[in-house]
Structure 1
Amino acid sequence: MFDLSPADLAGPVLDCCAGGASFAAETPNVLAVDPSYAVGFDEMARRVRASLPGTDAIIDDHRDAFEWSWYGDPQRRLEIRSRAREMFLEDLRDNPSHYVAGALPNLPLAAKSVDLALCSHLLFTWSDQLDEQWHRAALAELVRVTRREVRIFPLVVQGTGEPVEFLDRLRAELPPSELRDVPYRFQRGARQMLVIDARR
């Protein structure tokens, strides 16, 4: 969903907040950060395995807000996500150093400690629950820990696909940024990521 190239992944990458995603398990140089990692492996496994029905309920409640060109159909999406979940749990068990407990807007990372920071399905998409001031602090923190670039996706409200009222206002306060098209398609209207130049 972030349209990543091999060059993008050449240096250290932050996945925040990563949850039960398999990105760190599949990709070298990735550090996954999420507050839920503090609960330990057994509880994390229970939570991740119980979470799929809850996220599918959001889709069921807003069926018109999603398209299926990427996944094919709901069953195929469930299969992909189930495999990713088990891959994540295997890596969490075998390589716990890939996973750090922490949360925005206060990450347990040194300044400029990663080349690229990725944040999916947290900032902006939960703007109906996390307010503008929280987003301002979270964006500043992602820029603080990143040497090169911050990428955030999606930029519409979860479920409804509505635009985020304060996106442009926060962009005006950030280092130079752009809205860049991504190939990933699922939630209608979610066709762009925010790319922030963190080098300044």
Structure 2
Amino acid sequence: MSDQHHLELKHVVFVGRSWEDYCQMFNLNEADLQGRNVLDCPGGAASFARTAASKGVEVTATDIAYYFSPDELLAKGLEDLQTVQHITSQREDCIEMRETNPRFASFLEEMTATLHETVADIREQGYGTRYVPGRLPNLPFADGQFDIALSGNLLFIYSQQLGRDFHVEAVRELMRVTREEIRLYPLVSTDGQESPFLQDVLQLAAQEGWAAEKLPATYELMPGYELLRLIRN
């Protein structure tokens, strides 16, 4: 494991969402995924690939985190969850949501359970098939290897850490390995405002001839946010 990988992992939170979270974030249902080869990038600590396998859906998760051992990932995830708990306990909007949204009140417990489930699955599966080490904007996959790619909570949300060139090249790379479409969520940076790089991505889509549409997400923990769907014509 290189020092570069350690540095990059340090600056990205290793927490995970569930199958249900993914369906809400990306405006999907199980029927949308059946018979399609799906890429989850970055997969992080999400249990999406694990649950997908139980439903007969083929999902490959890739992440820079998968260059590390399960023990390292578990330690990193538990540390990051403590950070998330501290931040959300201080923010007024999070305090209000905790009081009004039953799901928000229990999301840390859900994420902790998801982390343990995913790390256990990584221990069982190993790296190479369901979980593949990789990093944007240079993925270890062939052109058009997947039907659909889902990319959540990296692009746009980390606009302060990842610049314009990274966003453009990452989207270009996701489309390279995808035959049909990619979906990106959310479209805001950490301040809740639209990412300054969204227009650059839309311009890339126009140049490449990809159809682009914004869709409402139904994710209970981040109400009112949208996703971007880019489709090959």
What is the TM-score with the length of structure 2 in the denominator?
0.77
Where does residue 108 of structure 1 map in the other structure? 140
What does residue 82 of structure 1 align with?
112
Native 8 Å contact 1:67 1:187 kept in 2: no
- Is contact 2:164-2:200 (8 Å) kept? no
What value does the CA root-mean-square deviation take over the aligned residues?
A: 1.9
Number of equivalences? 196
Q: 1:61 to 1:124 in 2, by over 3 A?
A: farther
Structure 1 segments unaligned to the other structure (5+ residues): none
Q: Partners in 2 of 1:12 and 1:70 — Cα distance?
A: 34
Q: Partners of 1:102 and 1:81 in 2: how far apart?
A: 23
- The one-letter code sitting in structure 1 at the alignment partner of 2:37 is P
Query: Larger % of helix: which?
Result: 2
Asked if 1:129 corresponds to 2:164, the answer is no
Q: Which residue of 1 aligns with 2:32?
A: 8
User: 1:31 is paired with a residue of what secondary structure?
Assistant: strand
Structure 1: which 4+ aligned runs deviate by more than 3 Å? Answer: 60-63, 65-71
Q: Does the Cα contact within 8 Å between 2:156 and 2:198 map onto a contact in 1? A: yes
Q: Contact 1:161 / 1:188 at 8 angstroms: preserved in 2? A: no
> Residue 167 of structure 2 contacts residue 197 of structure 2 at CA under 8 Å; is this kept in 1?
no
Gaps of 5+ in 2: 1-24
1:32 maps to what in 2? 61
Q: Following TM superposition, by how much is the alpha carbon of 1:58 offset from its aligned partner in structure 2, in angstroms?
A: 3.5
Q: Give the superposition deviation at 1:89.
A: 1.2
What's the counterpart of residue 170 of structure 1? 201
Match of 1:93 in 2: 123
Q: Match for residue 44 of structure 1?
A: 73
Structure 1 residue 17 corresponds to structure 2 residue 46: no
- The answer on whether the counterparts of 1:156 and 1:164 sit within 8 Å (CA) in structure 2 is yes
Percent identical among aligned pairs is 34
Query: Relative contact order (C-alpha < 8 Å, sep 6+): which is higher?
Result: 1
The residue number in structure 1 matching 2:228 is 194
Tell me, yes or no, if the aligned pair for 1:67 and 1:188 is still in contact at 8 Å. Answer: no
Structure 1 partner of 2:172: 140
For 1:89 and 1:173, how far apart are their aligned partners in 2? Answer: 36
In 2, distance between residues paired with 1:71 and 1:126? Answer: 27
